[in-house]
Chains A and B, each alone.
Chain A
């Protein structure tokens, strides 16, 4: 979320101003701690904003981050369970995303771009209140554990303390003579024991302790151990409820036909034939799309096929991949730069030696979540109720407000997501379903996009073009490193479509993250970016800017190693000597990947890539076999991850394995191309994915660490691109500087 802090600060200036005019007292009243008890859901007792206990002892944990496969419901529940002293048994614990948009559920790390543990002073206090006032609830940026690590443990410790005190008061003994274990409080001296279910009501009458003592890392019992995920059993019997699975009585189902040309609009709709289809109930012109409502998806789809729509291309019908490529090239060669790093005098250092230069290129990419875009809404008595597989209920609320400014209320149920990868932070589907629900007051409308609409109207990962230049010293190490890229601001495109203020633009961090913070020691470094605008809608794609820069930097550094006739692993280790954490990671990667051994067989090669993103360091070594026919088999990927304190090691391993496969699909096939102002690809037959037979063996090793935790959902993605590209070079001598492989004469085997 580039520049969000500053932008939100500016955009909400008026609101804050109003707040301050009322007095600091108003901001003080915004609860960003959430530790007060109260009434819970369905007869449960609420001990604080995250923990409720039912009389039967079942514990409900409110995890205000959405589960899209990353295992966050288990991870956040582990943080609470560690301090609350409960077992993480799916039969005893319910973990769900709360419907309430409480200030305490704000993603403060995402908003302030700072760890909670580092927040202090009046400015941070004010910003916490401002984000809490919104409230800024978001699952993204691999920030959920980073944000929740301390507050969720405090929530658990606070509740545990109140339960222990309640038991001690009941028994008339000192609280320090009692302890909590497995959902009970025990008085060991007398052998008495009470369950949390029996104690909850009394505990809720007590004041939360002001400073509950948290366990040291030595005392952790759950954190750092592999825990089975709470959502897995239901997902093996079709029982997990994704947004698309929403069933509400008397519901109708809609689908959508959007203007194929980006930024075009509906000129006219002839809906006679569509309305004549049996089971079609209504056709709604949404301005840039047409919605068709029917009894079932089948009827809506059949109606949509019978629509006759004339589109107004608004002059954007000539945009193509070729015109966009020309704009990128022009931007790289001319135009105003945003310089994000400028160490030493790179221009002078480049003039003083033999310049090594390479140009790298990446395409637009679609998210293609397995669950197509969808949402369900009903409009009744001036208020909405919404079922939404979303990464930000805040953005969902803004979307409904944009469609119906005078709505009285909105209740948002955040469901399970069939993949997210950044796509479900976008609000396009919510603006549409709001308008469709308004067209049929009192009737719940489930809007389901076809896969074709999903691929052709994604918020794409920006394409990027980068030119890098370097000069090596006598020892082969770079003395000058220049990175220039032309791309587009994902944050600007996203914010214009989805939120009430603009973010990003010329200085959008997501356009140069991973390059500006390139870790290798070089005396003269310059990173400059030129962001341009096209009609193509953009968004945040798993690892965002790092998905581009990780490939560029690690591909080029490999070229420098080759020019220096150095071993690519040792070359990196030399350049990381000043950074103990990354050097240790590289050392472990060298050992675990058997780097020093020779690969058996012909056409074999190894490639290494190391990249830091979302506060986590990941190194990957890919082993490939390249055939004479250009067939590339990725045999094995060894992944070493340093994410600080590990919470659930099995989730970390799963995220690394998954990121490798996700990136491999993009590397091998991923390309969204534009022709006549619209996306060329439409379904999985033209936007292909890696299947089981192509997936490499993935080995994950976690660096033992006591540092504060980093993110896990995204950081496994960026290193894979260059690891495989560099392995292909090692195996075949051919440099891959442009993705996907399919366009470079290679085919994934």
Chain B
């Protein structure tokens, strides 16, 4: 059994302490924004924030988060007032299928809390999550935008394509 807080609310389960946090969140709390991608901590789709640290919840037993406060994607902000990271994700039109983006946004949120103005190298080092749709160039732009460094980021490709009917 374990007790912890998820997005400010107390949660308690009788499941054994080995149960990965991911399944407590998804299958017990029925909060589905945090995703299952690999189950072995490789892809980062399951990333949540445990007291300021980006954690891969698929390999984190609930016994390890006893008494701790966890933030999931649902806990970042209400829909009407997205965080700077979420707003940047919308502005850069980052998501394609969107499945990895909860984990990406959680990882980026922690990166920006630690390094408010990350370099490209910082981004490369911190953002080890996998995106199969290949949204990486836009993720990079969105992180710079969220950091307030949008002036140095590239513009949206659509604006430079001059596409469609003339």
Contact = CB atoms under 8 A, between A and B. Distances in A.
Given A298-B23, A370-B43, A704-B165, A695 B134 contact: yes
12 contacts: A224-B165, A229-B93, A235-B101, A238-B73, A298-B20, A416-B98, A653-B158, A683-B42, A692-B123, A693-B124, A695-B137, A697-B137
Classify the interface of chain B: helix, strand, loop or mixed. loop
Nearest to A649: B163
A217 B165 contact: yes
Contacts of B79: 233, 237, 239
A245 B22 CA distance: 13
A451 interface: yes
A699 B157 contact: yes
Interface of A: 67-71, 217-218, 220, 223-226, 228-229, 231-242, 244-245, 247, 253, 278-279, 295-298, 301, 368-372, 416-421, 448, 450-452, 645-646, 649-650, 652-655, 657-662, 665, 683-685, 689-693, 695, 697-702, 704, 706
A224 B34 CA distance: 35
Contacts of B32: 238, 241-242, 244-245, 247
A73 to B, nearest CB: 12
Given A67-B97, A657-B134, A704-B165, 11 more contacts: A70-B96, A236-B105, A237-B79, A239-B33, A242-B32, A247-B30, A296-B19, A370-B43, A649-B163, A691-B129, A697-B154
Contacts of A451: 37-40
B115 to A, nearest CB: 15
B101 A448 contact: no
Contact of B76 (A237, A685, A702): A237
B109 to A, nearest CB: 11
B164 interface: yes
Given A232-B93, A697-B137, A418 B27 contact: no
Interface residues of B, number: 72
Contact of B130 (A655, A689, A698): A689
A743 B89 CA distance: 36
A654 B165 contact: no
Contact of B164 (A68, A296, A370, A704): A704
A244 B34 CA distance: 11
B36 A226 contact: no
A236 B96 CA distance: 11
A653 B35 contact: no
Given A236-B90, A253-B27, A683 B40 contact: yes
B117 interface: no
Interface in B145-166: 154, 156-166
B105 to A, nearest CB: 6
Interface in B72-116: 72-74, 76-77, 79, 82, 86, 89-90, 93-102, 105
B26 interface: yes
B98 A235 contact: yes
A370 B45 contact: yes
Nearest to B143: A692
B99 A650 contact: no
A71 B98 CA distance: 11
B49 interface: no
A370 B89 contact: no
A223 B30 CA distance: 39
Given A235-B95, A653-B158, A645 B26 contact: no
A409 B19 CA distance: 38
Contacts of A369: 97, 99, 132
Given A646-B164, A650-B157, A698-B137, A370 B97 contact: yes
A646 to B, nearest CB: 4
Contacts of A452: 39
A685 B40 contact: yes
A493 to B, nearest CB: 23
Contacts of A652: 161, 163
A418 B131 CA distance: 10
A494 B125 CA distance: 40
Contacts of A298: 15, 19-20, 23, 27
A163 B15 CA distance: 57
